[in-house]
Structures are given as structure tokens and as C-alpha cells.
Amino acid sequence: MVQLNLFSFRKDKKLTKEDQINITLSSSLKLKDCPDQEVLDVMSTIFSNYVMGKGGIFYLKEEGCKHCKNKLRRKDIVQKIYHFPGGHQMVLKFMRYSCFHCKKTPEKPYEKVFERFKHYSSNVKNDSVGKYLNHLSSFSAVKQDINVEYSNKISRKTIRRWISEVAKEAKSFIFSNTHFSGHLVYDEEFMSVFEGDVGIKGATLTKKRLYFHLFRDAITNGVIVYLTDSMEKGNLEKIWYECFVHLIKLGIIPKTISTDGLSDYSNVIKMVNKQLILEGLIKQEQEIRHSYCAFHYEKNTYENAKEFIFKSKFKKDELPECVINQIKELHQFFDVKSIKNAREYLSLLFQQKQTFIEPVQKQIERLNKYFAEYTLHIQYPFLKTTNHAEQYFSNTKPEKIKKGYKTEKGLRNMICNIAVKMMKKDWLKAIGRENDYSAAMKLFTKLIKGAIART
């Protein structure tokens, strides 16, 4: 148990407010069987809004109503417990207030540290969420781990509710985020979930395929995600349209979108542009331009060549050297530095077309058909590949996700949290959880080791 007591300062000793806080805490902390930890992050949040009075009670620095500006009435004292790994606790007391004039509920700054209307401090909840997203995809596994670490008795139902609550916060952050340049990279992944009484022994379950649609900004890493049960062209148009309208409503004009080599995408962007212009959301000259990924083009060329020669694109045998040279010559198209040079090189490829194997010939024809899409990267080099999207799926370990999240609700919760985590290093702070799960492992040392000595 950790207890905070008052410390009286000599009137003749000139100290700054920060010095008084450091001395008070460092001299008042009583640690019994508690390892050195850092309480500074938590206490600095509290001391930025409160002053400590008699009996260790925290009072608001400014006891005025934020709504009507009148003086607040002191109501009663509430006791809050901050939990630490190992079962240790820090007990803090706060004065609660009411406004006699406007009757509105005054602000409670301590809720930045302690969950509102909840028994546990926010770090326990955030630690549970962190474990669930990082390595434990089972509510029961998180429950067991968190209870051992905090010497507590948190139920599986509570863990599940926490994940859902944070998912709502994450979704809200994603769709209010304005940090976009308008240059997007798109990709999708399919995932399977079960419908029915999942978790009940003997229950009849049916498998359902879902598609995770990812729009990631090529410059800012901003993310927009959708989960649907279809990859039909009409559904793709709907998802793309919703994404672009969402950005436009935020004041961001979508400029470009880069995708892999699926031919449908070219038609999808044409239909979406037509609808956006028809509804007056963008002007004719603001049409969203589409870019095809050079990496996928090259990958498909090799696969098609293997299919042609070995009758299987999965064959591990090396392609003949003459074929490899043909493919390398084709891929030099993506090294040109101007649209003029690209046209000249494509013309040269057409002159030599009959000397290439059939799959390479078809790829030359594809360059001609989608010339604008395969040369947009000359103007915007960051659109040359869809690596931003590929890296996202790689870093979030889609195979682990596919196996770990068995219901649609669980998958949706995970996807929103992962999206925020990939956008921001301090992702928990982004969704209003400033004292993240690492804070519990960082409490107390700065004040104990670095405080001013008492004289």
C-alpha cells in the first residue's frame, strides 16, 4: 500500500511549485514491498489540476464552474485506487464538487487517470487491451495473465467489455482523424469467422468469409478501414465512394489512389469519380487519379512466365536465363524519369514484341492499355508500389488475426484498435487513454531518486 501525506514547508525557504510537489511526494511516499517505479506521469496529471490539502485530500486549483463561472460547492470526498503490478495499490482522495447555480456536473480531472464509474484504474484496462492486441487473442488468456500480474480477480466478461469499449473509442478516432494528404494506397484481405454460439461446446457453427478493406495514406500513414462480406464490383464501388465522401466531409480532397493489378479497380474508380462529380462533391478537374503498383506488375510477370513454361506459377525451378532477361528488359519501363521517355520505351517494346514469350507480350499490351495508371508514379514517386498497405498487413500479422478472432464482432473490435495502433506510436493516448499500460511499470523512480533533498 502506498500512502501520500502532506508536507509542511518552511516559510523562509523559497521553493518553486514544482519543487514543492517533488519534495512532498518524495518525502511522503511509503513503499512496502513495492519495487521502484515512476509515479511522475500520473501525479503530474493530478497536480496540473489539483492542490493537496489537509488529510492528503486533493482540491481543485480553480474551484469555479466551467459552465456558469460561479464558485463550486464542496460536496464530498471520493477515494480512488491506482493498481500496480504485484498487487500494490496507491490510494488517493479527491474532493467532489457540485454547482448550486447552474446545476451542471463540474469537470472531474482525475478521470484522466481513473476510469469513469469503474472500479479499476485505467492502466489495468489499458494493459488488458495491450495484451489482447499484442499476443493474446483469447479473453480467458488475458484474464489469467492480468490477474496474475495484478493479483486481482477480474472476470472474463469484464475483459471482453473493456475490449469492446476501447474498440468504440478507436473507431471514433479513426473516423475523426484529419491527418490525410489525399494520396491513398488500397488493399484488402479476406478473413474467416464463425456464426452461431461460438464458445459453447457442441454448438452448430457456420463459417463466414469477411473482407478487410484498407485505405492508408501514402504520406501521413492515416488509416480508414472497412469490413464487408463481399468483394463484388458493386460493393467495391460503395466502399470506395464512402471512403472518399468521408474524406471530403473532413475537408480533404482525395487526389490519387494506388492499388495492385486487379483490372476491376480501373472501372471502379471511373464509376466513383462519375458519381462524385454528378453529386457536386468534386469538380471535373478534381477527378481522383488511379495508379497501378509496379511491384505487383513485376510479380505477375514472373508468375505468368512460370505458368507458361512449367504449367504452374508455384514451381520453384528457376526460369531460363533468356526469359529472365526478357522480363528485366520489360521492367526497365518503371525506371524512366518522364512521360515522354515512358512513351518512347513502350514504343520500343512494341517493336520487339514478337521476340518475347507470350506472357511478356501480354504484359506489354497491358502497359499500353493502362499507360496512365502505370506512369502516375513518375509525378508521385510514393505511388510506385502499394508497400504502405502491404507493410500494414505484414506488421499486423494477418495469419495470426485470421486464426485468433473467431467472431465478426471480435474481428471488428480488433481491426479498429490495430488501425489506431498502426497510425500512432502513442496510440492509447490518441484514443484518450493517456496513462497507458506501460505507465504502471514506470511509477515512482523519478521522484524517489531525483527529488530535491529535504533540509
- Average pLDDT value for the chain: 77
pLDDT at 410 > cutoff 70: no
The pTM of this model reads 0.64
Residue 80 lies in a domain: yes
Contact 427, 421 (CB under 8 A): yes
Residue 246 lies in a domain: no
Nearest of 163, 153, 160 to residue 119 by alpha carbon: 153
pLDDT band at 4 (very low <50, low <70, confident <90, very high): very low
CA distance 41 to 245: 40
Instruction: Using the 3D structure, point to which of 320, 347, 376 is the last residue of a domain.
Output: 376
Residue 52 lies in a domain: yes
Residue 106 lies in a domain: yes
pLDDT digits (tens, 9 = 90+) for 98-114: 998 898 988 888 877 77
Which residues lie closer than 8 Å to 90 by C-beta, 6 or more apart? 2, 4, 39, 81, 82, 84, 443
Are residue 342 and residue 445 in the same domain, yes or no?
no
Higher pLDDT, 403 or 144: 144
Residue 265 lies in a domain: no
CA distance 400 to 402: 5
Nearest of 443, 430, 408, 437 to residue 132 by alpha carbon: 437
Q: What is the pLDDT of residue 134?
A: 66
Structural domains counted in the chain? 2
pLDDT digits (tens, 9 = 90+) for 321-366: 999 999 999 999 999 999 999 999 999 999 999 999 999 999 999 9
Residue 184 lies in a domain: no
Q: Where are the alpha helices (DSSP H) in 258-353?
A: 264-278, 294-310, 321-331, 339-351
Contact 361, 329 (CB under 8 A): no
Residue 200 lies in a domain: no
Q: Which domain holds residue 309?
A: 295-376
Instruction: Using the 3D structure, point to which of 341, 376, 411 is the last residue of a domain.
Output: 376
CA distance 148 to 213: 37
Which residue type occupies 52? M
Helices 358-369/371-379 angle, 10° precision: 70
Burial degree of 441 (CB within 10 A; 0-12, 13-18, 19+):
middle
What is the three-class DSSP state of 44?
helix
pLDDT at 431 > cutoff 70: no
Instruction: Using the 3D structure, point to which of 324, 346, 376 is the last residue of a domain.
Output: 376
pLDDT digits (tens, 9 = 90+) for 61-70: 889 998 898 9
Helices 264-278/233-249 angle, 10° precision: 50
pLDDT band at 438 (very low <50, low <70, confident <90, very high): very low
